Amino acid sequence: MRPTAALITTALALTAASLAACSSSGSDPDTLKVSFKQSTDNSIKVMDTYLADIKKQFEKANPGKKVEFVPIKAPDSEYYTKLQQMLRSPKTAPDLVYEDTFLINSDITSGYLKPLDPYLAKWQDWNQFIDTAKEAAKGEDGKTYGIPDGTDTRGLWFSKDIFKKAGLPTDWQPKTWNDVLDAARTIKQKAPDVIPLNVYTGKPVGEAATMQTFEMLLYGTTNDGNTDPLYDKSAKKWVAGSQGFKDALTFVETVYKEKLGPDVSDALDPNVMTRVRGEWLPQGKLAIALDGSWLPQDWLPGSGHEWPEWSDELGLAAMPTQNGQAPGKVSMSGGWTWSIPAKAGNPDLAFEFIKTMQTKTNAQKWYVANSGIAVRNDVAKDPSYVNAQPGIKFFTDLVASTHYRPAYPAYPKVSTAVQEAMEGVTTGDMSVEDAAKGYDEELKTAADNQVIEK
């Protein structure tokens, strides 16, 4: 059920007021304020630890300058809301912010971010960044508004022990969606005490449902591997009425209708991602997880969920296309960028901090700590990066089969409409047909009627 407009307005007003209350007006030219998404899991300190080291390096290299962190501890959807509230005013805008690439064009259109091209023209390291990563941080005006700090890919993680108990091969490599569902059905029958398959769904997990589940399915429904089933670039319109959309919804419906996934109440828990990484996989309670390349960061020493055996106990498989059609596998890539707000008080200092973060050495430290995929060519070619952690080569190789979201200004609203359709078929409150029709109607509103029927 949706909140009313009045409730939304009130909530946003309260958020803005609370942010303004804890921020001082004006800007200290010697203090750099850096805002980032802090994990809601208190045991996960990967970003905090990395930034603390960068702060030491920066302050040592810039005597008299100080770095002040402004962490936002919230789930993704709340982080985006709070960040946008901060960006609206010079009183609350930090000097540097961590932007999800799916939201960056929306913030560019809103005038919240500063183009970085004048800085990039003088920064030689920019030539080391791969073109696809650069594109993810570009606005429709062709200017660059963020420095990518890595990318990611997605695939299937599976428990070799559970597969063995269920009589399934421990070198499993499914070729079609039915192969994935059939494995889950076998596990349900042979190992009834575990969750056969987890796919994120519904509004509580936000973009994880859209990108890590739905788009992994949707982009596997095309017959050429290149057509974008969500946005028609030639027509510059969003796609409605496609069979691929219904097929992707049907897969989600099947998982929950046949009880191949977690209980619906658990699936719609905003903390389900933490449970997958910190509980279900390490404790052998989940057989297959459609998830991202970054999971091992939660299992490294000092993470709070140490699991040194994970690379022996878990197998990796590419998510197949719907019927095994070329290219046979599919992945989605996203990532985050460091951006400078339009209302930042110390933009020059902020870019100096970016340059400190993005030396080859520091970038490589981050990719490894965050289980990320390198976006710098010099790091990607470094054997110490390639061999730093099990799984890096598998997920890096998926870049050849990956897709990027059409992160245009309407995308956040389109994504929400996808989540609502998914939630409808997950709970059983809506049929696939009704959920797809509902999405098409929401899409017209979200995209200002810039829609093409397939």
The pLDDT of residue 231? 95
The pLDDT of residue 44? 77
Contacts made by residues 190-193, CB under 8 angstroms, sequence distance 24+: 190/165, 190/166, 191/162, 191/165, 191/166, 191/287
Nearest CA to 443 out of 421, 420, 414, 403 is that of 414
Residue 21 reports pLDDT greater than 70: no
The pLDDT of residue 12? 39
351 and 250 assigned to the same domain: no
Q: Is residue 14 part of a domain?
A: no
3-state secondary structure 323-340: CCCCCCEEEEECCEEEEC
Helical residues (DSSP H) of 372-410, grouped into ranges? 377-380, 383-386, 392-397
365 and 432 assigned to the same domain: no
Lowest-confidence region among 5-9, 55-59, 264-268, 301-305:
5-9
Residue 137 reports pLDDT greater than 70: yes
Q: Which residue has the higher pLDDT, 244 or 2?
A: 244
Q: Is residue 235 part of a domain?
A: yes
171 and 301 assigned to the same domain: yes
Kindly report the backbone phi and psi dihedral angles of residue 159, in degrees, each rounded to the nearest multiple of 5, phi listed first.
-85, 115
Nearest CA to 430 out of 238, 201, 126, 272 is that of 201
End-to-end CA distance of the chain: 29
Nearest CA to 447 out of 415, 420, 423, 421 is that of 415
Q: 148 pairs with which residues across the strands?
A: 337
Count of H helices and E strands in the chain?
21, 15
User: Domain range holding 308?
Assistant: 154-333+408-453
Rounded to the nearest integer, the mean pLDDT of the chain is: 90
305 and 280 assigned to the same domain: yes
Q: What is the CATH number of the domain that holds 60?
A: 3.40.190.10
Q: Is residue 113 part of a domain?
A: yes
Task: Give the pLDDT band of residue 302 (cuts 50, 70, 90).
Answer: confident
DSSP letters along 96-143, please?
EEEEEHHHHHHHHHTT-B---HHHHTT-GGGGGB-HHHHHHTB-TTS-
327 and 351 assigned to the same domain: no
What is the Cα–Cα distance from 244 to 329, expressed in whole angstroms?
A: 16
Final residue before a domain boundary, out of 366, 384, 404: 404
Give the DSSP letter of residue 299: G
Arithmetic mean of pLDDT, 222-240: 91
Peptide bond connecting 296 to the previous residue in cis, omega within 30 degrees of 0: no
Q: Is residue 8 part of a domain?
A: no
Query: How many structural domains comprise the chain?
Result: 2
Strands across the sheet with 237-240, in order? Answer: 231-232, 237-240, 451-453
Q: Is residue 12 part of a domain?
A: no
Residue 16 reports pLDDT greater than 80: no
Q: Is residue 3 part of a domain?
A: no
251 and 112 assigned to the same domain: no
219 and 326 assigned to the same domain: yes
The pLDDT of residue 45? 85
Tokens found for residue 423:
């939630």
The pLDDT of residue 5? 35
Query: Which of 38-42, 247-251, 332-336, 366-370 is predicted most confidently?
Result: 247-251
The pLDDT of residue 26? 53
Arithmetic mean of pLDDT, 95-99: 96
The pLDDT of residue 80? 86
What is the Cα–Cα distance from 358 to 378, expressed in whole angstroms?
A: 12
The pLDDT of residue 3? 38
Q: Which residues, 6 or more positions from 138, have their beta carbon under 8 angstroms from its beta carbon?
A: 144, 145
321 and 339 assigned to the same domain: no
